Structure 1
């Protein structure tokens, strides 16, 4: 596994930031799952308490990324068809978007969650293409939506976050370096705390904590962490994340480490256009198709 997070440093860095607790709906769903005989009806009813969450969940389930032949018409149907555990992962990912963007409809917030959704969709689709397990495919979706959750927390309090990051990235500086200078914390650490608080697996939490530290993640002893990290970075590359968020066309982090990242997935740089075409056939735009 990657180096353990220094919790004392985190406590100092949290000055002024509040990590949103796991929503009550997730706590109640988890309680149902922990019962000897979980009630699908009760779980579906909990999700349906918020029409926005329920509607978005069904929208994702019925999207091309799940590849279902028949339309899912209700949350209860989704629970029966996909399994409650998979639906819980999906609901948790959907909730992070709604919780961290509550009351915010500014342009950057919309870009942030649009980018996160695209990255999650790409990562999940690639994991399926590479024949990773269903659990890893689902975790890739969660990873896509959670990995930049810390940005939402910073941006809630710093109106010129986008401009500061854009200037720093144009100078060739890294995300964490820029954020530490101005905010005395970074979105990786804050994202880690959100993910940990919301019950994501230790592997997912670690990848979120170090997703801008390729040298560390590529040396981790955990093969699962390494695979999840590689899938996330490849998805970020295909989505053109820095261009979407900060209008930066260069990606020094990818250029420096892409060979090692692709090696984890046993693919060559020459295969990237092929993978982009695969994504395009799934109606997913990439930097290769715009």
Structure 2
């Protein structure tokens, strides 16, 4: 007979849905980036309505890490330099970065490790998009950035005792992290993260990419496959000391990624290239995502 979860799943989902909403500008940007018919002018017009986002965008577009020789002075030029998907990821980073910078002992994550790995996954998703032989939508980078945000929600909405139970269970040999979450919470951090994304009004492709990032089968969407692969690659892209004994579902970075590679039309050589290119970009531009 299956065990009942230690917390009420309905209460947990309600907590996820009650997470502070995204600024209207960011939610609008997510919709625009997911629309292949949208042009740079419409994105620039949306950003221009938000004074704080405009200032941040221009600052980041002129970052020395980008290597631009010509100073960017307009929103449209900044959008062109960064690209719409990177722009959206940066806008979201300003919203979620602080919470994702905390330590998560239940997942074996030191301070800043989750955030750096999320940025690495977002960068890897962009590289995968450029290498895949199957067209991958631009919003994949955002889905990859947010793929583990459910962990933050769990950490923020549950007491120390529950999280200690999760940590203790995850330290048991042979215990799968996702299964441990199902026992304790009745769902996984992927379910929670997708619920938050849905509450934020993000496109369905992003919601599905977050929800399915631990899945590996041939029926996945292209976005879900790319997010899952980017998540797996993020461990090789960031410094290994960032993760203190990653556990369970996060302990085997590659797992069975063959279905993901088939969906994306990638081979082993592509995989090595993705890791190498992503690591180089991560080291060069990760500071753009800092506060």
User: If the TM-score is normalised by the length of the shorter chain, which range does it land in?
Assistant: 0.5 to 0.7
Task: State whether structure 2 residue 49 is matched by structure 1 residue 49.
Answer: no
**2:78: which partner in 1?**
78
Q: Aligned residues, how many?
A: 262
| Cα distance in structure 2, aligned partners of 1:140 and 1:31 | 13
Residue 96 of structure 1 and its aligned partner are, at CA, apart by 3.9
What SS class does the counterpart of residue 112 from structure 2 fall into? helix
TM-aligned CA deviation for residue 175 of structure 1: 3.0
Say yes or no: does 1:121 pair with 2:123.
Answer: yes
Q: Which residue of structure 2 lines up, in the alignment, with residue 6 of structure 1?
A: none
Q: In the aligned structure 2, how far is the partner of 1:13 from the partner of 1:106?
A: 21
| RMSD over aligned Cα atoms | 4.5
Query: Structure 2-normalised TM-score?
Result: 0.66
Structure of higher RCO (CA pairs closer than 8 Å, 6+ residues apart) = 2
| TM-score after normalising by structure 1 | 0.66
Unaligned runs of 5+ in 1: 1-8, 286-290
Contact 1:62 / 1:71 at 8 angstroms: preserved in 2? no
Task: Name stretches of at least 5 consecutive residues in structure 2 with no aligned partner.
Answer: 1-7, 34-40, 105-109, 285-291
Shift of 1:128: 1.9
Instruction: Map Cα deviations across residues 180-226 of structure 1 (whole Å, 9 max, x no partner).
Output: 33334421111101211223221221121121232xxx23264x245
Native 8 Å contact 1:97 1:145 kept in 2: no
Measure, in 2, the Cα distance between the counterparts of 1:233 and 1:32. 24
Q: 2: CA distance between counterparts of 1:255 and 1:80?
A: 34
- 1:279 matched to 2:273: no
| Residue 144 of structure 2 corresponds to residue 150 of structure 1 | no
SS at match of 1:14: helix
Matched-pair contact (CA < 8 Å) for 1:120–1:141: yes
> How far does residue 142 in structure 1 lie from its aligned partner after superposition?
0.4
The 8 Å contact of residues 123 and 144 in structure 1, kept in 2 or not, is answered as: yes
User: CA 1:81 to 1:266, structure 2 compared with 1: closer, same or farther past 3 Å?
Assistant: closer
Cα pair 2:57 2:75 within 8 Å, conserved: no
The aligned residue for residue 59 of structure 1 is 60
In the TM superposition, what is the alpha-carbon distance from 1:234 to its structure 2 partner? 4.2
